[in-house]
Amino acid sequence: MIDRFSLTHIPAEDEALRAPVRSFLHDTLGALAPATRARSWLGFDAGFSRAMAEQGWIGLTLPKAYGGGGRSPFARFVLVEELLAVGAPVSAHWIADRQSGPLIARYGTLEQKAFYLPKICAAQAFFCIGMSEPNAGSDLASIRTRAVQTANGWRLTGRKIWTTNADKSHYMIALARTSGIPEDRQRGLSQVIVDLSLPGVSIAPIEDIAGDRHFSEVTFDDVDLGHEALIGMEGAGWEQVAAELAFERSGPERIYSSVVLLEEWLLALQAAKRAGQDVSRSERSALGALIAELATLRELSLSITGRLAKGESPATEAALVKDLGTSFEQSVPTVIGDLLGTRPLRGIADCSLADTLAYVTKIAPSYSLRGGTREILRGMIARGLGLR
């Protein structure tokens, strides 16, 4: 499979985006506490997202005709790297920018594109994902949420869970069964766009172990949707979801979730050395190994971005990098926590490292759940390699 990856470089015109993004982030965010920066993926700040939109950086790869930037996937790679490195609160626009917008651009009608895409690019429409369900988990083919055709459109009934920011979003793209029964698996599934303010929609936030409430369970109780709610072809939902998940898994997001903690540990090691404390061989070795793994994963992610820029759809490769990336992200708090436990660093002026480690340790188990569990991804990789 290694022959599917090639050394790829960011084009100069896209690399040039890095400097203005850094300047904007410095001026807009100032100095954030490390434990706040570590929440970047889940940091919801609509004002920050609107400020990003004013710079033209929401919907960066979407068509200019709909308010997007018309840029290549490399430009978005640079933007995402800078956002996650500084720990920017990206959660408000994240899903709409990364997957809902591209999905609508690819499968939506002209009317859907004209209505939703400009709002996404202006950070005026936030989306959540309606895939997982109670008692179904990552087995999307067994979902029971149903959309029944009516004289005026569709009537939606069912439940979704783990819907990030559903309580703060305007819309959901929901996977629903429009024909057949759950035992039909992939057949008979479709996607519908749901206005979350409609009667019959109820949203119950779920508090996680870190004390955050970004997940929600969403219930649809005979929610009436218009004909225009259907996105793409009726019954083609499985193919469309596969494309949406490829958007979700193909970016550099899957390797940087623990990068703020890694940076804080490096700063702590440097502070200890300045204070005259020895940095042990095991600490130096662990730091080198983590940085080398991160650099390798970045090259793999860049290779996928290069293939996306060519119009290809490297779903198997994206699944592989997502699996490797989340394993790396989860290893960072374990490695650092173990080393701090055996040799606490003295002379650190504040608790920023401890606070950041505590948060990342709590949230890290979710890294291998979001975007597809490790078991599901490895099954995809096996099929992509012809092994099952």
The 3-state DSSP class for residue 315 equals helix
pLDDT of residue 344: 62
Which CATH superfamily is 2-125 part of? Acyl-CoA dehydrogenase/oxidase, N-terminal domain (1.10.540.10)
- Domain(s) of CATH 2.40.110.10: residues in the chain: 129-235
**Least-confidence region, from 125-134, 218-227, 250-259, 276-285:** 250-259
How far is Cα 155 from Cα 178, in angstroms, rounded to an integer?
10
pLDDT over 80 (residue 246): no
Which CATH superfamily is 129-235 part of? Butyryl-CoA Dehydrogenase, subunit A, domain 2 (2.40.110.10)
- Domain(s) of CATH 1.10.540.10: residues in the chain: 2-125
Q: What is the mean pLDDT of residues 160-167?
A: 92
Cβ contacts of residue 282 below 8 Å, gap of 6+? Answer: 339
pLDDT of residue 349: 47
Q: Strand 127-130 vs strand 146-150: parallel, antiparallel, or unpaired?
A: unpaired
How far is Cα 359 from Cα 5, in angstroms, rounded to an integer?
34
pLDDT of residue 209: 81
pLDDT digits (tens, 9 = 90+) for 340-358: 887 665 545 457 888 899 9
Tell me what the pLDDT averaged over the chain comes to: 89
CATH no. of 250-384: 1.20.140.10
pLDDT of residue 7: 83
pLDDT digits (tens, 9 = 90+) for 52-64: 999 999 999 999 9
pLDDT of residue 345: 57
Q: What is the pTM of this model?
A: 0.90
Q: What is the mean pLDDT of residues 15-28?
A: 96
